[in-house]
Amino acid sequence: MSSAVHSVANIFRPLSTPAESIYTLSMLVLAVCLVIFLVVAGVLAYTLLRFRRQTSDIDREPPQVYGSNQIEIAWTVIPIVIVLVLSMATARVISDVQNKRPPDNALQVTVVGHQWWWEIRYPALGVLTANELHVPVSTGTIRQPTFLRLESADVAHSFWVPQLAGKTDLIPNHPNSMWMEPNVEGTFLGNCAEFCGLQHANMLLRVVVESSADFDKWIASQRQRAMRGHPGEAAFMSLSCVNCHAVSGTGALGTFGPDLSHLMSRQTLGAGVIPNTSDNLRKWIREPQTMKPGSLMPNMQLNDRELDQVYAYLASLK
């Protein structure tokens, strides 16, 4: 798998079909506006210089002009043509992006926005994860687009990975949809793009684009039940962690927070707030409110022994 992390929020380097259509359209609009600006500013500058007040004008009025059919027709017809061209080009791209039918091999994913993390489900594949969306790359003749169904568990959020697609809101009780078709492998950064509360800015998102083979491998590992029999498991199950978090195949069935079955396969903790390292994981369990103030995960006031056990158990969830 290519581990390249592509720069965040760079809408000028699209690497996926819908993002490319939007980029091309925006360049057309920008070019048309640039031409208009140059013509208007040029005529204005010329007029100011050529017709500025001269000493010989002091005592008489300049010649008065009462209308010109040619000019009036020109400044009516040209803008109409420009508006028509821009609106038709825009309508075409919008319809290409929004009305695209999923092909038979499309990957279907459901993304649910929560304050402040992303629940990610692959219903047909039986996979449930969080904050990191894995999708296969589309190359040459093998196109495998990913279609997302977007929902919200609480308030309005917005799914945005600038290099892969336009942004689409996640609205409570109103499923939206979007799709992407990345043509380069790597990790793409995105974020929530709709103000959704205190930690809106820390509702980060990663899309890992990988080869078909790597994607299948990832799916297979995520489908496995969580590791059992770890010495810390009993401690974890006895704490109130299980009210909010689920670990597949155990008594932890909470759905309020992210599923933890394969926590160690993720790159970050707290929806992109910190890298998923041993130190950070310990800190996150001990004091989530310092690392992400306002996060709905409370400080559990664990003693050192409990902290060690919970940490060791979570670190075993590969």
Residue ranges that bind ligand CUA, judged by CB under 6 A: 113, 116, 157, 192, 194-196, 200, 203
Minimum distance of ligand CUA from residue 13's CB (angstroms): 24
Residue 72 CA to residue 35 CA, distance in Å, equals: 20
**With respect to ligand CUA, which residue has the nearer C-beta, 128 or 196?**
196
Q: Would you say 118 and 270 are in contact if contact means Cβ atoms under 8 Å apart? A: no
Minimum distance of ligand CUA from residue 272's CB (angstroms): 12
Torsions phi, psi for 130 (to 5 deg): -150, 145
Minimum distance of ligand CUA from residue 192's CB (angstroms): 3
Residue 13 is encoded by which pair of tokens?
């380097």
**With respect to ligand CUA, which residue has the nearer C-beta, 194 or 210?**
194
Reference 231, options 302, 312, 305; nearest CA is 312
If you search the block for the tokens 């599923």, which residue do you land on? 259
Minimum distance of ligand CUA from residue 16's CB (angstroms): 22
**With respect to ligand CUA, which residue has the nearer C-beta, 100 or 167?**
167
Residue ranges of E strands in 230-313: 268-269, 274-275
**With respect to ligand CUA, which residue has the nearer C-beta, 130 or 241?**
130
Find residue 170's DSSP bridge partners. Answer: 157
Q: Using DSSP bridges, classify how beta strands 5-6 and 186-192 pair: parallel, antiparallel or unpaired.
A: parallel
**With respect to ligand CUA, which residue has the nearer C-beta, 158 or 187?**
158
Minimum distance of ligand CUA from residue 64's CB (angstroms): 59
